[in-house]
Structure 1
Amino acid sequence: MTEDGGMQRLAVFGAGVMGVGITTLAIGRGVPVVLVDVDRTRLDTARARVRSELRLAHMTGALPRTGPVGDLELADSVTAAADATWVIEAVTEVAEVKAKVHREIASVVAPGTLRVTNTSSIPVDELAGEVPSPEDLAGIHFMNPPYLIGTLEVIRGPRTGERAMSAVEALLSTLGRKGIVVGDGPGFVTSRVLHRMINDAANVVEEGRATVEDVDALMEGCLGHPTGPLRTADLIGIDNLVDSLSVLHERTGDDSYRPSELLLRKVAEGDHGRKTGRGFYTYGAR
């Protein structure tokens, strides 16, 4: 419940892989969600995709089988988020697109409403400089799939206010997630470390030194990586990974973040990972 006794409600912008995953997590925890996307084709399939993800989350025990399930509303207009308790933007990893969406959100929500950018690499303060009320903006890096991974990276930008950080804490408590607060900057902690490793792994394969399977087996068996970097790339989405690497390369000037030619080729060929059925590995229908 909100402070005035109303029902807490989450608005999620973007009905892609991450938006659907975040929506699944929220409704699986009993939180009503309005999922907003201007792409009617993607929005028309969103309910079925959320239903499929929720079924999988229940089967794996990632979300409780019993207890309330939040209502899901679909909308193609920003005004649907006007009464939201919290807003999460989960659109493509392009700073200009994210800033545009946040300006639209800020124009309809009540002052003081938490606005979250779900980003793996774009500095929060870069967005804060382009939007109204930057004190209401914070970053949360949800991992894929959001309902399965219980620890999240929370990014506090230099202009993020105490009220926003308290709202982040309340949101994550409601979602049953643990947040670790880190400082702002390109890639934060997880992407800065992980994406370089994945990029290097792809370069090793491109150079012919080892197969995809052997790279992952070595990283799992020798270094304890739970899935291997290239299987992780498939889970992230290779297109999303390339977008994040490009942001890191542009913002840091570090050439180790320049996207591997193998990654770029897979994106061009439509082999984006699990979501397209083929990436470094091939996946059957769920």
Structure 2
Amino acid sequence: MSSAMPREKREEKEVDTMTGDDRNRMNIRTIGVVGAGTIGRGVAHTFAEHGFDVVLTDISEAQLADARKAIAELQRLQRLYTKREVVADPAAVLDRITFDTGLEPLERADFVLENVTEDWDVKHDVYLRLDRICKPDVLFAVNTSAISITRVAAVTGRPDRVLGMHFMNPVPLMPMVEVIRGFHTSEQTMAAGLELLGRIGKEGVVVADLPGFITNRVLMLTVNEAVFCVQDQVASAKDVDRIFKGCFGHKMGPLETGDLIGLDTILNSLTVLFESYRDPKYRPAPLLQKMVHAGLLGVKSGRGFYEYAR
């Protein structure tokens, strides 16, 4: 007697052996994005451009309005299209994004990316609320440059479903994402996160969960030391950046990069690194602190080490 199984039964059996995590990876359709700052709106824009439905939340109506305006800038979108393969109707991209000041709409999200300020107390509160609101099988991606993924995961009832995704600015143009594995992060969670990045045309590089990871342990030191050079009158901001671009082939100098990231974000990241390692090399330059206190935050405020049209 033949032991061959009818084709219909074989296919049914193959489907039945698919794990819940496999199904979750395939069924990610709605992305929740918490925080509508520069990175958050870039993340929302990128996922919407690749056909995902996006729920973008922020506590500030003004921040959401700014995000909507930035994403709706047709000329900006068209400039991006000339550099990348993805071409989408700008109006359709905006239509895929829901803007809201509450976290409750994230109950329908399949995957959540959090982009709030680099402040532990703020993140702690957000994750307590997200854990209550979101479906039990939803994965949380922490978009942080310095805060421990393991510490964030411990706030939730799903530590194995929390990973780090450190996106770079501008998000739509940067091809690579720093992906961080927390102590409890499962292999299934890492696989789902990397696959999701692939669906938006980005490559993930996996690193260990230590403060600053790779990018910020190196970049924050560079920006901070460049600020010290200006503070100590070694050279002007413009000349510091010229040296990095002319001598090392960098597209942007460290102070231009600091302005783009936001000098407040630079200061917050350095503070976290200093508190984490207790190493004086991470002490923020006094000039950096003074500029942040004065509201000179870079591109976002219209003035940092350079002036910007608003």
Aligned CA distance change for structure 1 residues 55 and 177 (closer, same or farther; 3 Å): farther
Q: Partner letter of residue 126 of structure 1?
A: R
Matched with 1:106 is: 131
Which of 144, 166, 187 pairs up with 1:119?
144
Contact 1:112 1:164 in 2 (8 A): no
CA distance in 2, matches of 1:134, 1:66: 36
After TM superposition, list the pairs within 5 Å mapping 1:32-47 onto structure 2: 32-47=53-68
Say whether residues 1:30 and 2:55 are aligned partners: no
CA distance in 2, matches of 1:178, 1:7: 18
Q: Partner letter of residue 78 of structure 2?
A: H
Contact 1:10 1:31 in 2 (8 A): yes
Matched with 2:76 is: 56
Contact 1:121 1:187 in 2 (8 A): yes
CA distance in 2, matches of 1:103, 1:110: 13
Q: Partner letter of residue 256 of structure 1?
A: K
Contact 2:49 2:88 in 1 (8 A): no
Matched with 1:138 is: 163
Matched with 1:209 is: 234
Aligned CA distance change for structure 1 residues 36 and 62 (closer, same or farther; 3 Å): farther
Deviation sequence 1:151-172 (CA, Å, 0-9, x none): 1100001111122112202220
Matched with 2:212 is: 187
Quote how far apart the aligned CAs of 1:148 are.
Answer: 1.2
CA distance in 1, matches of 2:203, 2:264: 27
Rg (Cα) greater in structure: 2
Q: Structure 1: any 5+ residue segments left out of the alignment?
A: none
Q: Partner letter of residue 180 of structure 2?
A: I
Contact 2:178 2:205 in 1 (8 A): yes
Number of equivalences: 283
Matched with 1:254 is: 279
Contact 1:198 1:230 in 2 (8 A): yes
After TM superposition, list the pairs within 5 Å mapping 1:237-252 onto structure 2: 237-252=262-277
**Cα RMSD (Å) of the superposition?**
1.9
CA distance in 2, matches of 1:157, 1:205: 37
Q: Partner letter of residue 29 of structure 2?
A: Q
Percent identity over the alignment is 37
Quote how far apart the aligned CAs of 1:6 are.
Answer: 6.0
Which of 5, 10, 13 pairs up with 2:34?
13
TM-score scaled to structure 2, two decimals?
0.86
TM-score scaled to structure 1, two decimals?
0.93
Q: Structure 2: any 5+ residue segments left out of the alignment?
A: 1-21
Quote how far apart the aligned CAs of 1:194 are.
Answer: 0.7
Matched with 1:65 is: 87
Q: Secondary structure at the match of 2:155?
A: coil
